[in-house]
A and B are shown apart, each in its own frame.
Chain A
Amino acid sequence: MITFPTNRWFLLALRILIGGIFVYAGAQKIGSPLDFADSISTFQVLPPELINLVALGLPPFEVLVGALLIFGVFQRQAAFALFLLVALFAVFLLQAIVRGLEVDCGCFGSAAPTVWSAWISFGRNLFLIAGCLWLWRISRRSIIAA
């Protein structure tokens, strides 16, 4: 069984790293929603009626929840929300890889879509899933223990 460290400095660093990634990613996309909408459309999952709403709503969501995670406000809930977000994104990425689509995740602004960029995003996603899941579990445990 894999054991994750519970050292408070490690957890603080993890919160800053993961929260920082989401704040940065969200801030990059707030300024160019059209590029992000184009990136979302390459996944061929959402209908046109939802693409622009996601392109407008997701970047502020990432900034807001990422900032809450960094500052440890609603830490458990923020970690849970980000975990669901990255898990959902991993499913979208996997279906794109299986279908052989050239996708650009648009995570940090737009870039030319390639099959490789999907794999790179997927690897980064695995790290984020593990980190968010761990922060969520630790927060639950510490509250129960208290």
Chain B
Amino acid sequence: MQKFSDTHGKSWKSVLQASSDALAVEKRIQESLLQEVGRFGSADTDVVVFGSLARREWRSGSDVDWTLLIDGQAMPEHRLEAQKIAAALRKTKFRGVSLPEPGSSGIFGNLAFSHDIIHHIGGQPDSNKNTTQRILLLLESARIRSTANSEMIGAYERVINNVLARYLYDDTNFLAPGETGSRIPRFLLNDIVRYWRTMCVDFACKEWEQQGGKWALRNIKLRMSRKLLFVSGLLTAFSCFRNSDIESECDPSNPEPYVAEMQRHLEKYAFLTPLEILVLQFRRVSLDQQAIGLLDIYDRFLEQLDNPETRAHLNSLPPRQVYEDNVFLSLRDLSHQFQDVLTQSFFVEDTPLREFNVKYGVF
């Protein structure tokens, strides 16, 4: 991001501020957990955060979505540790304000187990919660550790790697005879697309469940931050398309070396933020101006979202009044601009991204 910013002589004040605030909140959480819980986590467990904190887009009013991820032996103390973490986070303040708790859906704020996340991809056992945890682990997650074991490869990294392995080694696309050139992780791409559509459907579900509560804020987030998350997922799959960094050719009779290389490549993307992925891939196909356009728009979105009055206003705005509300309409207009640049980049500009999208994006 910094290199891109320097190259084009541009800076995005709110993007930078949101990123630095996210790191400050993360540090604050770490201190709080050390103080209240003690040496949290272990080789078998990690505290993982999701959402705006993990995307490095912390804004005033952002909540802390977290889970205690367990990859190893089940221990009776895990439940107690999760409860202590929840209690510690309730006490934690940033700039004098308590950190909002995770939503009431139950997806966050408790325990998550690697076996479900890794093995239940698709089918009946793959619940909404499980899909969400799995995809968000790949697209917007970060781990917080106590200092004693901050450097090791732990539960967080292992689960991400294992999930990627499931997507890749169970993908028969790599076994298909024919050309030996670039392949893409179709199983992963399909799940990312599915998750985007799930988020859209869940938006409608929440409208019904919550009788329109917080509709406007959720709508704007869906149009902007949730869409960016999906875009980063698409671009992660696209990063494998005709990518000379994945040098070896796929031999359908022996795809393992190619798949292993792709896994290492995708693992790096799991530790990048959506905006970093966007910049990285748009630069790859010389869509620098479009990336600048998207960052300009997203910067304004983050600026608006940091205004407590705007947030409170959107939170209380009834769905039936949104199309007469200037605050909502202004943000909606911003989201249309965001979509216009995405449409131009993904469907109009003659680049490999368009080719990828036409070939794999929908059908």
A, B bound: no
